Amino acid sequence: MMARRWVAETLFDGVRLAFEADAVLHDSTTGHHRLELIENSVFGRMLLLDGAVQVASADEFVYHEMMAHVPIIAHGAVRDVLIIGGGDGGLAEEVLKHRQVESVLQVEIDASVVELSRSHFGMFNAAAFADPRWRVEIADGAAFVRGTDRRFDVVLVDSTDPSDTSAALFTEAFYADVGRCLRPGGIVVAQCGVPFLQEAGFRGSMQALARVFDTVSCYIAAVPTYFGGHLALGWGSHGRAALDADVDTLSRRAANACRDTRYYTSEVHRAAFALPRYIDTALNEAVAAR
């Protein structure tokens, strides 16, 4: 009998989470990452970068819907979107559900992630690859926002957890460059980790955001493959109008783009900003320390 193969996530010290690989579809090392692609009976097709789960076909909708629809619907008049990272294409697919969006520029550092995802994750990214509004540029995201003269209504930072290739995407300097790229009324949303297991990183990201933007918050989502409790999505903007949009306004704006969502609703949108006390305390202390 062939021994079962288990693929372990090694992101957190003191914790190991393993997924049984019913099949190993890909395993290689690029100039930036080790890429592993497996099939699992519970989570479906899974992509790991450097031992950390990035996306799973069974629950990708939770993360991608919440990262895309919350800022776009809160803003209410988004035309141009910049995505940093997100090479699997799932976030772009959700953004492009909004018909008023005219362009989506995605800056991804590793072409191999894009190519592998196009071949293996068509179940959730095929529509994005077929949409002429979407363009992918292979480049360093931090360098891009530092040098571009383009302006955007929403910037979405769909990064890996801090590493040699992504640490710059969690700094005050990066957020300052993002702020410069935003039009008036613009919003940045950034993946800020799982506060229960990554409290120091969460606090650091929120403090960096608070040094750039006068309105800083975060909202949460329950993504089964992102182990350790709620995932936090950091929010930065100048002004509170978008952050304070009520449920009726959100429902009206979401009527077309979000009819086929599996996680996002206008009620979930509002409720996601109601934080457990331990996350709220960490957020408020980080903002106060700016």
SS3 content of the chain, % helix, strand, coil (to 5): 35, 30, 35
Determine whether 97 is exposed, middle or buried from the number of CB atoms within 10 Å of its CB (0-12, 13-18, 19+).
Answer: buried
On whether 27 is known to bind a ligand per the annotation, the reply is no
Residue type, 112: S
Residue 64 counted as an annotated binding residue:
yes
Q: Of the listed 153, 158, 177, 214, which one is catalytic?
A: 158
Beta-carbon contacts of residue 114 (< 8 Å; ≥ 6 apart): 87, 89, 108, 136, 138
The response to whether 60 counts as a known ligand-binding position is: no
Tell me if 90 is assigned to a ligand binding site: no
Residue 50 is labelled as binding a ligand? no
239: annotated binding-site residue?
no
Give the SS3 label for residue 282.
helix
Instruction: State yes or no: is 158 an active-site residue.
Output: yes
Q: Answer yes or no: is 248 a known binding residue.
A: no
- The string of DSSP codes covering 190-230 is EE---TTT-HHHHHHHHHHHHTT-SEEEEEEE--TTS-SSP
Binding residue positions for spermidine? 64, 88, 158-161
Binding residue positions? 64, 88, 108, 140-141, 158-161
Please list the active-site residues.
158
